[in-house]
Structures are given as structure tokens and as C-alpha cells.
Chain A
């Protein structure tokens, strides 16, 4: 079946790195995504990784993909208060032409 799981909460100190983890079940996923949702807003695409890649870095964001373990992570370096949001992991199911979302991880930043 199709399932994406994430922990619900993460709290980090400002300036530290945040690591948000995600596991998925469908081995045929072609793309995996990280979206950010701020309160009362839609989803903002942060980054995505093709399933044949292991790592992708974009400024403060680093995505690691372990396809064998079906594990995806998002690392945010030097976490700032503006990074407070809910982060959704998602996988594309090409056979069904849709994206399956995880439950979202609420990232809170403490001073």
C-alpha cells in the first residue's frame, strides 16, 4: 500500500540544525518532495529529489534519500525562527499520477 510516515513534532534551538525524517512504503516512487506549510497558508515546495539520487543540497537544505530503507530526511542548517512551520514529506506515485503526503512534522524553534 501507499503510506508516508513522519514524526509529528520537532523542537530545535535557533541556530542548530533540524533534521526531519520520513519513511515511505512504495518502492516505485519516482520523486520525493518536501513541502512547507505556514499557518493558514498553502504548501510551498521546498525541494524534491529523484528516486535515483542519494542526496540533494540547496543552500541551507539537504535532502538525503536511502532508497533501500525507504527513508528520506530533510536537514535545515542554521535553523531560524522563520523556519517554524509544518513540513510535509510526499512521494509521487506515477502509476496513479498522484502524490501521497505524510502527516506533517511541526517544527518549532526555541531561543
Chain B
């Protein structure tokens, strides 16, 4: 149980284009989903927290107009990187937390974004 998928797993795009990444909880309802960014050989940096049906809460320094998050259902959250630039190239990982009491987050496999 507690499987989280991400799509696509890898994407290469041109500078200036927008890219959408999907995060799905496959076998549980995720009341909260998180989006992280990971640079090579570094830890995860929390970008934003999204609760189903409400606006995402962004961490300090993360541009909400740049990284659009939509959590339209209890099993799907999307991250759209708008007008992507090479510095947005990174590994983006989502996680989902169900309505349990352990605060445990279950992670997706990640999406490697490369902006040319």
C-alpha cells in the first residue's frame, strides 16, 4: 500500500516553455501533498505544501507564480513549472500524506527536469 506515482519520470524542454508534473496517490487518499526539489548530491528542499481544494502554501523563497500547484482531488496534485529556464533543471519529488496519525509521507519516484 501507500504507492505514489509521478509522471513523467523524465522531461527535457526548451527554455521558455512550461512543464507539468503529475503526482498521484494510487491506493490511498492524500489529504496533503508536498513538492520537493533536490539538487545533485543534496537533500530535499520543500517547495510547497498543498491541501486538496485549497491554495498551496509555499516555502520562503519559492515563487508561487513560477511553480504553480494544483491539488484538485484527493489523489492528484500537479506542479507546473512556468517559463522554465536552465536553472530550473532539477529533480522534483512529490510526496503524499494520508489522513492517518503518523505524519508519514510517501514519496513518488521523482521527475528529472532538464531545461535546455
A residues touching B (Cβ–Cβ < 8 Å)? 30-31, 33, 35, 40-45, 48, 50, 88, 92, 94, 97-99, 101-104
B75 CB-CB contact with A under 8 Å:
no
Which residue, of A41, A43, A45, has the highest number of chain B Cβ atoms within 10 A? Answer: A43
Please, how many angstroms separate the alpha-carbon atoms of A30 and B37 in the complex? Answer: 24
Docked-complex contact A40 and B110, CB < 8 angstroms? yes
Docked-complex contact B32 and A97, CB < 8 angstroms? yes
**A29, closest chain B residue (CB):** B103
Interface size, B (range): 20 to 34
Docked-complex contact B103 and A101, CB < 8 angstroms? no
B residues touching A (Cβ–Cβ < 8 Å)? 2, 4, 6, 32, 34, 42-44, 46, 49, 93, 95, 102-110, 112
CB A33 to nearest CB in B, in angstroms, measures 7
Please, how many angstroms separate the alpha-carbon atoms of A49 and B14 in the complex? Answer: 44
Q: Inter-chain contact count A-B, CB under 8 Å?
A: 51
Docked-complex contact B43 and A101, CB < 8 angstroms? yes
Q: A88-B43, A88-B44, A101-B43 in contact; A40/B102 too (CB < 8 A)? A: no
Docked-complex contact A41 and B103, CB < 8 angstroms? no
Q: A40-B110, A42-B109, A43-B93 in contact; A48/B43 too (CB < 8 A)? A: no
Please, how many angstroms separate the alpha-carbon atoms of A92 and B112 in the complex? Answer: 26
A-B CB contact pairs (8 Å), 19 listed:
A31-B102, A35-B107, A42-B4, A42-B6, A42-B107, A42-B110, A43-B44, A43-B93, A43-B95, A43-B107, A45-B2, A45-B107, A48-B102, A48-B104, A88-B43, A99-B34, A102-B43, A103-B42, A104-B43
